[in-house]
Structure 1
């Protein structure tokens, strides 16, 4: 039989064990600074992959988008004979195409047109963009390239100056790496801005609410240079002296470069821009 003294010590140890467990639980929190995937059934894949590795992830939308030039985009989509292929480097550009396809009941017409595009090349960056392209009935190439820089090398290898220009629907703040590389190597290209990017109107309030309710997360993941631009100052203010304890993660090298340029120490970067790639990278640094 245990004495009263022993029971008292046991009680203290149990409480300490609970506190330790609670601290470990807090340390598993991950903040994802990105928009949920539109139309995604079930749990978001990033949250799901992190949960499978024992991490509690929260997603905060960072960007808002306004679609523009859709009439012009529609004209080009339904005249595939004027272009040598398509390039998509973001899910939003694919969403703009989907809006054009679904507008005015042009679905049946698209079923015929898409085969003409599939006879050409449809280049993409990233699995998320590739999945959306497949939903349109198109066959993506290069989704494992990871960055526009790498994709440009693939395109240069496959295309030549004698083909019709590739058509590149893009955002207002796209990087110029891919267009420059293609033009420098004689690959004709036509770009069209189909969406404009801005800070999400609820971003600052959402960040403040997260830090107030859940505290400083163990890891924060950025998904674009724009996300770094819009979030970093607020994250620094809210985390204060705890900033150096946060493991900062990047979805890829372009985002990592933007983080480094702002003075952040990048703890990890996904080997591929996917939920699995990012979750695996974060899991390693949170061991």
Structure 2
């Protein structure tokens, strides 16, 4: 059956996207349509902070894009050598927190040792941080996107863990989103299942999906990558057929395959 994945392709991964691959192994044909576009900002400020590890108690990354921003700083200013020689080791003496495997893999490529790879959400990660960290540390540094949720900053603030955030990328709707969705429906018809990967994906896509699906929307099995996205879908009145137990390609493909049986 046809499955529509409303997500960005995995950056830097050669070969097939893992979600398309996993769904194919379950006998389903998946198509990917990118929902978001990203613009990096404040990279000079980010660069300054990256090279002052002594001023921070650790690092927090909750998205692959934030790690990409760090990579851009190291490459743009040709500071990779200085980073490799001394700076990354100073950071590694502190805690480097991440959400999810994709972010953890990118953090490792910077030579950093991530903690929290198996935390699927900011809620779970914030509990880990509160348990591990003292309230009298220098602030943890959190480079993030313009539409981050306030779950993690709020939890840390309420528990007295100091935090400094910096917006390093802005998220907007992908310029070709509506055109790509229309083309998909014209060529392949209404999909058997549609998977959402973020609350912003729900915000940007749902109206178009409803319009294109018409009365057939009742037959679509809607899938969520995790609890935050599921909440956003439910809030919009969607009936969520399934959610991935963990935010991985394997778990989502298994959930969709079960829902389509």
What TM-score results when the alignment is normalised by the length of structure 1? 0.89
The residue aligned with 1:217 is 191
From 46, 58, 62, the counterpart of 1:85:
58
Q: Offset of 1:104 from its aligned partner?
A: 2.3
The residue aligned with 1:52 is 25
> Is the partner of 2:141 in helix, strand or coil?
strand
Deviation string 1:136-155 (CA, Å, 9 cap, x unpaired) is: 11111112111101110000
**2:76 is equivalent to residue 73 of structure 1:** no
After superposing on structure 2, the runs of 4+ consecutive aligned residues of structure 1 that deviate more than 3 Å are none
The residue aligned with 2:103 is 129
Bigger shift: 126-135 or 217-226? Answer: 126-135
**2:134 is equivalent to residue 172 of structure 1:** no
The residue aligned with 1:193 is 167
> Is the partner of 2:97 in helix, strand or coil?
strand
How many angstroms apart in 1 are the aligned matches of 2:93 and 2:102? 22
How many angstroms apart in 2 are the aligned matches of 1:176 and 1:94? 19
The residue aligned with 2:70 is 97
How many angstroms apart in 2 are the aligned matches of 1:200 and 1:265? 25
How many angstroms apart in 2 are the aligned matches of 1:244 and 1:127? 33
How many angstroms apart in 2 are the aligned matches of 1:49 and 1:43? 10
The residue aligned with 1:10 is none
Corresponding pairs, count? 260
Q: Offset of 1:109 from its aligned partner?
A: 0.9
From 104, 124, 143, the counterpart of 1:150:
124
The residue aligned with 1:226 is 200
Q: Offset of 1:225 from its aligned partner?
A: 0.4
How many angstroms apart in 1 are the aligned matches of 2:44 and 2:59? 17
Structure of larger gyration radius: 1
Structure having the larger proportion of residues in helix:
1
Structure 1 unpaired stretches of 5+: 1-27
CA RMSD of aligned residues (A): 0.7
Deviation string 1:140-191 (CA, Å, 9 cap, x unpaired) is: 1112111101110000000011111100000111100100000100100000
Q: Offset of 1:286 from its aligned partner?
A: 1.1
